[in-house]
């Protein structure tokens, strides 16, 4: 069979060798130079014609090439003094058909400065890699513990105790509750309290990822799996969560086609990236959450029954905020501490009237809504105490929930005449504007986006 190199001209081979190794020398068993390239000769101050045929010791000072050619033992990244400096060289024994015939030497770095330049370049890459690795690991760590779950109401304490009890388990957990009740905080806390705490915590919002991207996001893909696939492929979030916990938020919004693939992953404990013929074993604990009624969805055929039972090993119901109103003051103070750091404020507090108003609200947005209300209040706060007029308009006036009075099993809603309601709203809005503008009526008119004349007329009308 013809050797492939026979088809390559000699001058090509010489060029290839010079490109592959900047400085190269070849000796036989006796240490006689058989080949040395021009770059090496320029480096040591000689010529190719003079060097070839001479013993390596007569050409390169402090060389050990003849020793490697005799012993057959390689010397890698060896420091060698030459030309008043130190270079780093590699020396390889040359073995042909099982017989030691000589040695090959290459210069990696011709001087310490060259090595230091290379080291700085490599070190910057190592530092960058370490930064992104640390950032990646930090982002995949749980951010909250059970100490961050604030509240003392009976239902909340029961949910928290159950979560603490099952944190050390490997079983799947299903968190149920309205939007904004803190399901993700519970998931973080469960992971923090588990044996998997030192491994990744990967949160995925199933509702925020388009259906056609969800599979590749969860399970990854191989290079060339589809048009636009990233070179080298991409690891899925299940692989990123290996040995740790994956949190599938809004699992009720996952399409049926994905539910069957997720079920297979949970059953087989392996994932198959898109475009791959091989499955990858994984060890991941699943925590799922939803605000939807999954049992009803199962009955309607919108959620797989087998997946529901696979996820619903441990179910934890998180109560809405309107069912734990006694917790609102302590939750509010906890949120204020967090927001105070964000806005560089200190010693923020709530007035008694504000606390009473917060406790009278029904909080359809739960804790997330409460946090937004407090953040809004801090933005318009001049002092350190949040008053009623710092709250959003819908929380400032009479409680928005109509008062219900029971008469023989029927409910009568007590309402005021429309003109009285409008007058009351205008009067309250003017008072708030004056408070924010610190009594400056012209500024207050601008806040209400009405003319100064109209503002003065209304102040006269309402005796303000």
Per residue in 421-430, pLDDT (tens digit) is 677 778 878 8
CATH superfamily to which 404-464 belongs: Homeodomain-like (1.10.10.60)
Q: Mean pLDDT throughout 179-197?
A: 94
**Entry pTM:** 0.59
Top-tier CATH class for 146-319: alpha beta
Residue 419 binned pLDDT confidence (cut-offs 50, 70, 90): low
- Contacts for 331 with CB less than 8 Å, ≥ 6 apart: 150, 151, 321, 367, 370
Q: What per-residue confidence (pLDDT) applies to 139?
A: 63
What the block records as the tokens of 68 is 């490697």
Query: What is the average per-residue pLDDT within 210-221?
Result: 89
Q: What pLDDT, on a 0 to 100 scale, did the predictor assign at position 409?
A: 40
The whole-number pLDDT of residue 385 equals: 92
Mean pLDDT, residues 289-296 taken together = 94
Of 446 and 267, more confident: 267
* Chain center to CA of 391: 33
The whole-angstrom separation of Cα 289 and Cα 46 is 75
Cα-Cα-Cα-Cα dihedral sign, residues 206, 207, 210, 212 = positive
Between 328 and 409, whose confidence is greater? 328
Predicted local confidence at residue 327, as pLDDT: 94
Return the minimum-mean-pLDDT range out of 29-38, 266-275, 325-334, 411-420. Answer: 411-420
pLDDT band at 454 (very low <50, low <70, confident <90, very high): confident
Range picked from 127-131, 208-212, 311-315, 423-427 for highest mean pLDDT: 311-315
Question: Looking at domain 4-113, what is its CATH homologous superfamily?
Answer: PAS domain (3.30.450.20)
In CATH, what number does 321-401 get? 1.10.8.60
**Mean pLDDT over each residue of the chain, to the nearest integer:** 85
Task: Give 263's pLDDT tier (boundaries 50, 70, 90).
Answer: very high
pLDDT value for 277: 87
pLDDT band at 460 (very low <50, low <70, confident <90, very high): confident
- The proportion of the chain whose per-residue pLDDT surpasses 70, expressed as a percent, equals 85
* 404-421 mean pLDDT: 48
Q: Tell me what pLDDT residue 402 has.
A: 42
pLDDT digits (tens, 9 = 90+) for 349-407: 999 999 999 999 999 889 999 999 999 999 988 888 999 989 888 887 644 444 443 43
Euclidean distance between CA atoms 439 and 131, whole angstroms: 53
Higher pLDDT, 411 or 13: 13
Question: For residue 452, what are the CA distances in angstroms to 4, 21, 446, 460?
Answer: 94, 84, 8, 12
User: Residues of CATH 3.30.450.20 domain(s) within the chain?
Assistant: 4-113
Q: Quick one: pLDDT band at residue 26, thresholds 50, 70, 90? A: very high
pLDDT at 115 (0 to 100) = 58
SS3 breakdown of the chain: % helix, strand, coil, rounded to 5? 50, 20, 35
Q: Are 303 and 259 in contact (CB under 8 A)?
A: yes
**Is residue 1 very low, low, confident or very high in pLDDT (cuts 50, 70, 90)?**
very low
Regarding predicted confidence, which is higher, 324 or 39? 324
Least confident range from 91-95, 109-113, 356-360: namely 109-113
The boundaries of every CATH 1.10.10.60 domain in the chain are: 404-464
Which residues, 6 or more positions from 145, have their beta carbon under 8 angstroms from its beta carbon?
188, 189, 192, 193
As a whole number, mean pLDDT of residues 93-114 equals 84
Question: What mean pLDDT comes out for the span 307-335?
Answer: 94
Least confident of 181-195, 337-351, 393-407, 435-449: 393-407
Highest mean pLDDT among 127-136, 255-264, 388-397: 255-264
Percent with pLDDT over 90 in the chain: 52
Q: Does pLDDT of 193 surpass 90?
A: yes
List, by residue range, all CATH 3.40.50.300 domains of the chain: 146-319
State the pLDDT at residue 9.
Answer: 79
Q: How far apart are CA 188 and CA 271, in angstroms?
A: 24
H-run or E-run covering 17:
helix 10-20
Q: Evaluate if residue 346 carries a pLDDT over 70.
A: yes
The H-assigned helical ranges of 173-242 are: 183-192, 211-219, 237-240
């Amino acid at each position: 069979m013809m050797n492939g190199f026979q088809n390559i001209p000699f001058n090509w081979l010489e060029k290839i060798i010079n490109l592959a190794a900047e400085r190269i020398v070849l000796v036989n068993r006796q240490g006689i130079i058989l080949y040395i390239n021009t770059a090496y000769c320029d480096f040591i101050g000689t010529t190719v014609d003079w060097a070839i045929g001479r013993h390596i010791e007569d050409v390169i000072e402090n060389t050990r090439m003849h020793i490697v050619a005799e012993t057959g033992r390689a010397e890698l990244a060896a420091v060698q003094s030459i030309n008043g400096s130190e270079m780093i060289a590699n020396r390889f024994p040359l073995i042909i058909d099982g017989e030691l015939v000589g040695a090959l030497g290459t210069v990696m770095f011709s001087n310490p400065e060259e090595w230091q330049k290379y080291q700085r370049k490599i070190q910057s890459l190592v530092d960058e890699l370490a930064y992104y690795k640390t950032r990646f690991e930090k982002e995949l760590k749980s951010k909250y513990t059970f100490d961050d779950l604030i509240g003392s109401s009976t239902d909340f304490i029961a949910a928290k105790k159950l979560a603490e009890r099952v944190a050390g388990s490997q079983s799947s957990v299903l968190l149920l509750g309205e939007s904004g009740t803190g399901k993700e905080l519970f998931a973080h806390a469960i992971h923090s309290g588990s044996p998997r705490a030192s491994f990744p915590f990967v949160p995925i919002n199933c509702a925020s990822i388009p259906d056609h991207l969800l599979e590749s996001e969860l399970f990854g893909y191989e290079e060339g799996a589809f048009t636009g696939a990233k070179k080298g492929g991409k690891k899925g979030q299940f692989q990123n969560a290996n040995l740790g916990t994956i949190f599938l938020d809004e699992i009720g919004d996952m399409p049926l086609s994905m539910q069957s693939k997720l079920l297979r992953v949970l059953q087989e404990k392996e994932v198959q990236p898109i475009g791959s013929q091989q499955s990858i074993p994984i060890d991941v604990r699943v925590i799922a959450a939803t605000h939807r009624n999954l049992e009803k969805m199962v009955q309607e055929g919108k959620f797989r029954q087998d997946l529901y039972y696979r996820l619903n090993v441990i179910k934890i119901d998180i109560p809405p905020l309107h069912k734990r109103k006694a917790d609102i003051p302590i939750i509010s103070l906890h949120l204020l501490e967090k927001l105070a750091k964000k806005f560089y404020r200190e010693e923020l507090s709530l007035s008694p009237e504000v606390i009473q108003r917060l406790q009278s609200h029904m909080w359809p947005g739960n804790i997330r809504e409460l946090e937004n209300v407090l953040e809004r209040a801090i933005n318009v706060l001049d002092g350190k105490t949040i008053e009623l007029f710092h709250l959003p308009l819908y929380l400032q006036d009479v409680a928005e929930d109509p008062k219900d009075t029971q008469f023989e099993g029927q409910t009568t809603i007590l309402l005021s005449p429309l003109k009285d309601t409008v007058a009351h709203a205008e009067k309250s809005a003017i008072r708030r504007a004056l408070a924010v503008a610190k009594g400056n009526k012209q500024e207050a008119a601008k806040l209400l986006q009405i003319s100064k004349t109209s503002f003065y007329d209304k102040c006269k009308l309402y005796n303000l």
